[in-house]
């Protein structure tokens, strides 16, 4: 199969997924969206009420702020890939449960493998924890780490700035570092570094000086 066919098959599987109890409460599953050759992938936490209704990631207030942040980084939404750790909305927008994260884990691994981005930006602590276990987002946000030809950057979730205005400038400043990081990632890939099928945890990564 081509990459496009594999991605569409993955989306079909996500839309019909029954791996956890969220299948009983969702309106629509939210696989993800963006170009299949995107250089930058953003990984959020879970769909909210608007995403659940539309089947698309980041379409509410947090989505509007994300588009503003992309502009700060010289990017546009149509050129990046966006997905979440969870593909279905937790009832009441509660935090994801470990069993739900595990149920969706293979889907996210497949998306990273198929899209093969140069730069992965995690948004929020639940997506951060997949790559940076046992870390505090307040300590490592905006600090890039390199792993096998890919750069990973943990950042606050855009929704955090909607609830805590003091974080707005922090998130904007972090996003403004992305153009330089993308250039580093391009140079690293051009130098022959091959991305891994699955990203190693943080302790195996090299922190940029």
- 167 in any annotated domain: yes
Give the tens place of pLDDT for each residue, 102-123: 999 999 999 999 999 999 999 9
Q: Is 157 helix (H, G, I), strand (E, B) or coil?
A: coil
- Region 75-83: mean pLDDT is 98
The C-alpha atoms of residue 206 and residue 144 are separated, in whole angstroms, by 9
Residue 203 lies in a domain: no
- The string of DSSP letters for 76-102 reads -GGGSEEEES-SSPPGGGPPPPHHHHH
Q: From the CB of residue 135, how many other CB atoms can be counted at a distance below 10 Å?
A: 18
Would you say residue 35 lies in a domain?
yes
Residue-wise pLDDT tens digits, 120-144:
999 999 999 999 999 999 999 999 9
Task: Please report whether residue 200 resides in a domain.
Answer: no
Total number of domains in the chain: 1
Asked if residue 207 is part of any domain, the answer here is: no
User: What is the C-alpha to C-alpha distance for residues 59 and 159, in angstroms, rounded to an integer?
Assistant: 12
- Cβ neighbors of 4 (< 8 A, separation 6 or more) are 36
Domain range for 106: 3-190
pLDDT digits (tens, 9 = 90+) for 29-54: 999 999 999 999 999 999 999 999 99
Beta strand 40-44 with 119-123: parallel, antiparallel or unpaired? parallel
Confirm whether 104 is domain-assigned.
Answer: yes
Residue 202 is assigned to a structural domain of this protein = no
pTM of the prediction? 0.92
């Amino acid at each position: 199969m081509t990459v496009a066919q594999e991605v569409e098959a993955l989306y079909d599987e996500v839309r019909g997924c029954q791996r956890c109890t969220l299948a009983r409460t969702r309106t629509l599953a939210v696989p993800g969206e963006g170009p299949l050759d995107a250089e930058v992938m953003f990984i959020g936490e879970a769909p909210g009420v608007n995403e659940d209704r539309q089947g698309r990631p980041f379409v509410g207030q947090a989505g509007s702020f994300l588009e503003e942040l992309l502009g700060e980084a010289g990017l546009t939404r149509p050129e990046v890939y966006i997905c979440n750790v969870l593909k279905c909305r937790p009832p009441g927008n509660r935090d994801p449960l470990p069993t739900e994260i595990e149920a969706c884990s293979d889907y996210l691994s497949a998306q990273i493998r198929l899209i093969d981005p140069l730069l992965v930006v995690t948004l929020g602590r639940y997506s951060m924890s997949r790559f940076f276990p046992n870390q505090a987002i307040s300590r490592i946000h905006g600090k890039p780490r390199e792993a096998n030809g890919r750069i990973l950057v943990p950042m606050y979730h855009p929704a955090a700035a909607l609830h805590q205005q003091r974080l707005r400038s922090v998130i904007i400043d972090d996003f403004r570092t992305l153009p330089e990081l993308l250039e580093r990632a391009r140079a690293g890939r051009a130098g022959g570094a091959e991305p891994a099928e699955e990203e190693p945890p943080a302790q195996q990564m090299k922190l940029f000086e």
